[in-house]
Amino acid sequence: MIKNSALLIIDVQEAMFSKDTPAHNGDECLEKIKRLAEKARRKGIPIIYVQHQSSEENDPLEEGSPGWEIHSSIKPEKEDWIIAKETPNAFYKTKLHSELKKMGIVHLVICGVSTEMCVDTTCRSAYSLGYDVILVKDAHTTWDSPHLNAQQIIEHHNKVLSSWFVELQAAEDINFDFSESQINSEVTE
């Protein structure tokens, strides 16, 4: 087992799964992320929660509000990391990159919300920083847009991101037993 891997869970917060504006296949996505976290814990793989926070009053993700909380179905445990962010990029103006480097992490398994914003941006940034990235193709979600429905957005981003930036794997296929040959990144400063 390779200990230089981590599970990165992006913006899986209560507001993202509200009854008023539920994410596409939200319950299914939450269940897959929960199982991924359980597998990671059994293997001793670090879990990093990225938590979007808004400074705007009455924003559903306003820091400290009920919607801002990590979703109750996947609550972090004491050994897990929580990284706060204010933009779609989990690396921009956060401690994520420096914390991953301290832990010797070079391989990231990414899942979360929302496909075309924070998941996409973070995958591209991770690749640009030299991380090997697996995007869990069935454990990220979003909402319908005026131009595409959520499933089309997810499929489109899986295709685009896998053409250059990530390897795609289904949640059930991820076991966190990466071989040395799969870890070939050199993470940049």
Mean pLDDT value across residues 110-125: 98
5-14, 21-30, 104-113, 172-181: which range is least confident on average? 172-181
Whole-number Å distance between alpha carbons of 8 and 152? 23
Tell me, yes or no, whether 189 lies in a domain: no
Total number of domains constituting the chain: 1
Over range 114-125, report the average pLDDT: 98
DSSP result, 21-78 = SPPTTHHHHHHHHHHHHHHHHHHT--EEEEEE-B-STT-TTBTTSGGGSBPGGGPPPT
Quick check: 135 pLDDT over 90?
yes
Q: Is residue 146 part of a domain?
A: yes
What is the number of other CB atoms lying within 10 angstroms of the CB of residue 69?
14
pLDDT at residue 186, as a whole number: 61
Residues 9-30 have a mean pLDDT of 95
Looking at every residue in the chain, the average pLDDT score rounds to 93
Q: Is the pTM of this model over 0.85?
A: yes
Neighbours of 181 (CB within 10 A): 6
Domain limits at 24?
A: 5-182
